[in-house]
Structure 1
């Protein structure tokens, strides 16, 4: 198995164009994992309490525009 130190070393030796390609791949990889987790949490009801709190804030007018 590859260790984190070995991965760090390999990444540090990448030429700039390969590093850019790796960075783009890793960003997409992390985004997909995040999206999957949010989807799973929403489907399981884990976010229901937060949604209710946000809606209650909205009904009270306790919000600000971003």
Structure 2
């Protein structure tokens, strides 16, 4: 276990049982979500990657894109 995780667990131990359960439920949901994404990502085949790349190319050609500077502006 990492030092950061040990620290977080120690902090969580100071919470009420209800708060601990709420955090535990969120963490379990996040872990399940990560498992699902990993599984889907690993199952993606070459045809699917190519189709996704083509969709991106079409969006770029049609001008349906945002500048990275607009997405990640320094004013956030």
For the aligned pair, the TM-score class normalised by the smaller chain equals: 0.5 to 0.7
- The match for 2:14 is 13
Count of paired positions: 44
- The match for 1:58 is none
What value does the CA root-mean-square deviation take over the aligned residues? 1.8
Q: How does 1:35-54 map to 2 (within 5 A)?
A: 35-44=36-45
| TM-score (normalizing by structure 2) | 0.51
- The match for 1:4 is 5
Q: Which blocks of at least 5 consecutive residues in structure 1 are unaligned? A: 46-66
Question: Is the partner of 2:15 in helix, strand or coil?
Answer: coil
Displacement of 1:44 in angstroms is: 4.2
- The match for 1:24 is 25
| TM-score (normalizing by structure 1) | 0.58
Displacement of 1:13 in angstroms is: 1.1
